[in-house]
Every structure is written in structure tokens, then in C-alpha cells.
Amino acid sequence: MKALQFKGYGKLRGNIFLGDVPKPQIREGQVLVQVHAASVNPVDYKIVNGNLKLLLRLKLPAVFGYDFAGVVTEAGNGVDHVKMGDTVYGSLPSISPGTFAEFAAVDADVVALKPKNLNFIEAACIPLVGLTTVQVFNKSNLKRGDKVLIHAGSGGIGTLAIQYAKAKGAFVYTTTSTQNTEWVKDLGADRVIDYKNEDYKKIAKDLDVVYDTLGGQYTLDAFDQVKPGGHVTSIAGGIDGETVKALGLPKIIQWILFFKGRKIRKRAEQKGAHYNYVLMDPNREQVEQLTALIQQGAIKPVLDKVYDLDDGVEALVHQQSGRAKGKIVIKMR
């Protein structure tokens, strides 16, 4: 089968190539999915850049990609909630990427039936950003009426997170650049802040939740915007102590990561706010919660561009530009 792979760490062009690999064999509890579409996420280019070498040890050349939408063509023993011919979608665990390919062997635990009102390309936009968002807002104890700031409202995460937070009854502030403000408003955000011309710090204040998608100084500044007792939950800032332990990394790396998080811990303590880092963990029930919201019309995928598998490297280059307007998808069929 054809699969997008990378052969070395560094630049995308020159390391990523399309080649033939054996079709994966399924084990007990797995299904074989004929992948029709797979969306791209920043983690995919970060893996090729070598930024995640400490966390993820892959044998090169390696097939990569996490999100998938496709059709079950084989079901292993012990699989009961999906069968051959079902149309499905989901996201793989971080330790075992491999959906930028014509077929993927997937633990049935992370496979959910595709929403009836989405085609494969649209469905592929949802799982990783959707799961991350459900997990961020669960960690943040999101309640109806909460004031929430979602940074980067026009990105893959932001476009999904705005719609999810509105569906849960939150008041949503979001940031984006001038050219994106109008269409981001149409996603339901209550106050779209044009970060090129406005200072979000003066507008989004006394917040219950900051969903930090940018990291660095944005993570530290979030503690000025959040109320005492509020939540700063990051997917791009420093890893918290709980996540460091859960990753089971060597002690020295745990210690380095813990040391790096010291400024964030200090700011959280000074403010009396909660800080958590979320590392998305695939979960079928949460994908099914997203399916229900999609079928009710509360969440719609936002598609930037579709690339053929032959042009897969260009999809990754586009994602790495940092200017995606919603999701970028690779089409296999």
C-alpha cells in the first residue's frame, strides 16, 4: 500500500516521501481501516522536525499521521462495536501514528462510527482537535455561563473549540488576525479580538478559563486574565507535574520538564488559579459525544484545503506555515 513516511529528522521537504509499505496486519482487538481521508495536525510536522524525539521513539522510515476517516475492511477477534463495511473515524494514540496511508491497523477502542451528516474529508477534520478540546474543557471544569478565552480561534483547535464552548453555554472570547475576524465570528464567538489591532489583555478579563493554544509568554500572561480559582489549561505551554509523571519518562527528563515549569507554577500559585497541561488521549466515548454535537448541527468542520496523498508533503508544509484557517486534509481515495 502507499504511505506517506519520513526518513530523517529536520526539514519537511527532503525527509517526507511517498512509498510502498506492507499493508498492516491486525491483532486481537484491532480493526483494519481503509483510510479515505486523514487531517494534518501540528504534531505531525513537529515529529518530522524532531521536536518530539524525547517523547516518541520511532523506527525510521516511519509512517505518521493520527486522524483518520475511512471504512472497516477487517475486524479482529474481540471487536464488537464495529464491523466490516462500517464508516468510522478517530485518532490514534500518540505512541503509534500511521494514518497517512491507504490502510491503518487501529485499536477498536479508539474507533467510532462516522457522523451521518459528514463525508470522509469533513469527518477527518474532527477527532484530534475535538478530543483535545473535550479534554481541555473537562480539565477546566467548564460550566454554562463561564467566560472563556480561546487563543488562535482560526486554527484547527480554535475553530472546533469555539463551537464546542458555545454548545456548552460559555461566553467565548477568541483571538485572530484582521483577515479572519469576520468568518471566526460566524463560528459563534461572542467577542472576536483582532490581535493585530486590539490588546486582548484589556478585553478578555476576569475569565473562568483560558484555553492556551500558543504557549510561551501567552501561558504566563493567562494568569493575569483568569479569575482566582479559574483555570489555565494549555496544550502548548509547559507540561505540568501530573503529565510529566504519567508519561513515564526517564527521571532526568522528568526533572528537566519539572524545572521548566517553575515560572508557570509560581504564577498559578500567586493567582490562586489552576494550571493543567493536556496531552490528548484517544477516547471513543468522547468521540461519540462529538458525533452527537455534529449530528445536532452544533459543530461543523472548518476545512481549509484538501491535498491528494501524492502531494502530502505540501499539506505538511501548509500546516507548518502556522496560518491554517481550520483544518488541512490529505485525501487517500
Ligand X SMILES: NC(=O)c1ccc[n+]([C@@H]2O[C@H](COP(=O)([O-])OP(=O)(O)OC[C@H]3O[C@@H](n4cnc5c(N)ncnc54)[C@H](OP(=O)(O)O)[C@@H]3O)[C@@H](O)[C@H]2O)c1
Contacts with ligand X, residue ranges (CB under 6 A): 41-43, 128-129, 132, 151-152, 154-158, 175-177, 180, 195, 213-214, 235-236, 278-280, 319, 322-325
SS (H, E, C) 9-28: CCCCECCEEEEECCCCCCCC
Least distance CB 198 / ligand X (angstroms): 11
Integer Cα distance of 261 and 251 in angstroms: 15
* Most distant pair of Cα atoms in the chain: their distance: 57
Q: By Cβ distance, which residue is nearest to ligand X? A: 155
Least distance CB 63 / ligand X (angstroms): 19
Integer Cα distance of 235 and 83 in angstroms: 34
Least distance CB 328 / ligand X (angstroms): 8
Q: Judged by CB, which is closer to ligand X: 66, or 103?
A: 66
Taking CB atoms within 8 Å and a gap of at least 24, the contacts of 182-190 are: 183/154, 183/325, 184/153, 184/154, 184/158, 184/159, 187/153, 187/159, 187/162, 187/163, 187/302, 188/162, 188/163, 189/150, 189/153, 189/162
C-alpha cell at 88: 468510522
Least distance CB 254 / ligand X (angstroms): 17
Q: Are 330 and 38 in contact (CB under 8 A)?
A: yes
Candidates 93, 167, 155, 105; CA nearest to 129 is: 155
Q: Judged by CB, which is closer to ligand X: 71, or 247?
A: 247
Least distance CB 18 / ligand X (angstroms): 23
Integer Cα distance of 128 and 136 in angstroms: 12
Q: Judged by CB, which is closer to ligand X: 247, or 298?
A: 247
Q: Judged by CB, which is closer to ligand X: 34, or 132?
A: 132
In DSSP terms, 62 is beta-bridged to: 6
Least distance CB 228 / ligand X (angstroms): 25
Q: Judged by CB, which is closer to ligand X: 118, or 128?
A: 128
The owner of cell 466490516 is 84
Least distance CB 215 / ligand X (angstroms): 7
Q: Judged by CB, which is closer to ligand X: 286, or 319?
A: 319
C-alpha cell at 184: 471566526
Integer Cα distance of 223 and 219 in angstroms: 8
Q: Judged by CB, which is closer to ligand X: 51, or 73?
A: 51
Least distance CB 160 / ligand X (angstroms): 8
Integer Cα distance of 89 and 104 in angstroms: 12
Q: Judged by CB, which is closer to ligand X: 151, or 300?
A: 151
Question: Please, what's the b/e burial string for 22-54 (b: 16 or more CB within 10 A of its CB; e: otherwise)?
Answer: ebbebeeebbbbbbbbbbbbbbbbebbbeeeee
**Nearest 5°: phi and psi at 186?**
-65, -15
